[in-house]
């Protein structure tokens, strides 16, 4: 199964695409969609939507997954993140992809085996699970790959998709 993982962000939305049977994962593509911080929010959201549509067109995933919005002290930040997440959900729905959403705890547990893992531990395990020789340069792309890995492992294990 080909899965697109999305790490939502207002200025940088990471994406990672993997092929997986639920046990063995192979990197297909990764990157970051950058939205210019000088533009108004609605224009950034449009840039993110265009970028996600292009990623879906280029890689033709069968499923997509995002991380649930987590609580943060700054309500404005959470609301902006929720807007980006909404754009991602609409884009995925327009493409007719299977969809999954997971809490940060679920993603970390699926990738590292420990729900309170540090970001570096997640990145190290993503690299290991994908058999990569080098570190993933973008935290956003690495987080997106972790979400994609979580989706396929939960799907194969019979968990909610």
Catalytic residues: 7, 67, 140
To 10 degrees, what angle do helices 139-156 and 104-112 make? 80
- Three-state DSSP state, 117: coil
Q: Count other Cβ atoms within 10 Å, centred on residue 102.
A: 23
In whole angstroms, how far apart are CA 161 and each of 46, 112, 129? 27, 19, 20
Give me the phi and psi of 3, to 5 degrees please. -125, 135
23: Cβ–Cβ under 8 A, 6 or more apart, which residues?
A: 156
Give buried/exposed letters for 52-68 (b at 16+ CB in 10 A, else e). Answer: beebbeebebebbbbbe
Q: Rounded distance, CA 23 to CA 35, Å? A: 34
């Amino acid at each position: 199964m080909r899965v697109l993982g999305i790490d939502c962000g207002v200025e940088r939305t990471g994406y990672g695409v993997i092929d997986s049977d639920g046990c063995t994962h192979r990197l297909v593509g990764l990157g970051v969609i950058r939205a210019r911080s000088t533009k108004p929010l609605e224009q950034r959201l449009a840039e993110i939507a265009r970028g996600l549509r292009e990623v879906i067109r280029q890689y033709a995933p069968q499923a997509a997954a995002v991380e649930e919005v987590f609580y943060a002290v700054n309500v404005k930040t959470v609301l902006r993140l929720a807007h980006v997440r909404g754009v991602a959900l609409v884009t995925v729905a327009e493409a007719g992809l299977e969809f999954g959403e997971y809490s940060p705890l679920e993603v970390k547990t699926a990738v590292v085996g420990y729900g309170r893992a540090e970001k570096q531990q997640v990145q190290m395990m993503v690299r290991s699970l994908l058999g990569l020789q080098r570190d993933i340069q973008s935290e956003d792309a690495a987080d997106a790959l972790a979400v994609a890995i979580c989706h396929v492992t939960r799907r194969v294990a019979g968990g909610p998709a």
